Chains A and B, each alone.
Chain A
Amino acid sequence: GAGVSQSPRYKVAKRGQDVALRCDPISGHVSLFWYQQALGQGPEFLTYFQNEAQLDKSGLPSDRFFAERPEGSVSTLKIQRTQQEDSAVYLCASSLAVEYVLPYGYTFGSGTRLTVV
């Protein structure tokens, strides 16, 4: 596609419910990132994939958060037993390759706004 697509755009979950957020990166993009953006804050790094390999998951806030990219394209961020502090916008970003990040930046999706009630 022409851009990074994320679904759903909005998700309301009851506390304790599991959720799955989907990211469709630009076709051919090797690098894929997930970020969490709380209201009024800048995005915070969660995890990074290069193709299907998860090279960095140091930003995942707890073991309730899990991300996968099994075929090196679509990625899913799963949050188990959601809590109110998980309410945020979850952004996905992709890049053609590591060496293109600096001159062209990442392309971000519009995000999924998760509200835990």
Chain B
Amino acid sequence: EDQVTQSPEALRLQEGESSSLNCSYTVSGLRGLFWYRQDPGKGPEFLFTLYSAGEEKEKERLKATLTKKESFLHITAPKPEDSATYLCAVQANSGGGADGLTFGKGTHLIIQP
């Protein structure tokens, strides 16, 4: 069974204070690992897909990295508007079709001015 564990559950940072969110996963065969951002009352918003160990993706203050067992979302000099819940999800190789994603519980990030 595919599993995704995110830590910490919640994180409070001062504006400008860089940090990392962790996503540990077990999957039979990884097709892709996704990072999403979710604001209150909204659906998840796509950020990145990572395919293989060693890969990195960047977008503004966010950088996602991937190893064989975990992924990190690094947030550099965050601003209050980066406050959200960040979700990690995996998609397994099923041999065909488009399987659903397996999500972690998310990390609730608060950036204080």
**Residues of chain A whose beta carbon lies under 8 Å from any beta carbon of chain B:** 4, 31, 33, 35, 40-46, 48, 50, 55-56, 59, 91, 93, 95, 98, 101-111
CA distance A55 to B100 in the complex (A): 11
* B102: chain A residues within 8 A (beta carbon): 45
* B101: chain A residues within 8 A (beta carbon): 43, 45, 106
CA distance A50 to B24 in the complex (A): 30
Interface-side segment among B13-21, B38-46, B66-74? B38-46
CA distance A103 to B48 in the complex (A): 8
Minimum C-beta distance from B109 to chain A (A) = 15
* A106: chain B residues within 8 A (beta carbon): 46, 101
Query: Once the chains bind, are A4 and B49 in contact (CB under 8 Å)?
Result: no
Known A31-B98, A48-B100, A56-B97: A42·B46 in contact at CB below 8 Å = no
Query: Once the chains bind, are B42 and A42 in contact (CB under 8 Å)?
Result: no
Beyond known contacts A35-B100, A56-B100: 11 more, CB 8 A cutoff: A40-B105, A42-B87, A45-B99, A98-B97, A102-B32, A103-B49, A104-B49, A105-B46, A105-B49, A110-B42, A111-B43
Minimum C-beta distance from A76 to chain B (A) = 18
Known A42-B89, A107-B46, A109-B43: A102·B99 in contact at CB below 8 Å = no
CA distance A4 to B44 in the complex (A): 12
For A56, A59, A106, A110, which residue has the most chain B Cβ atoms within 10 angstroms?
A106
CA distance A76 to B93 in the complex (A): 28
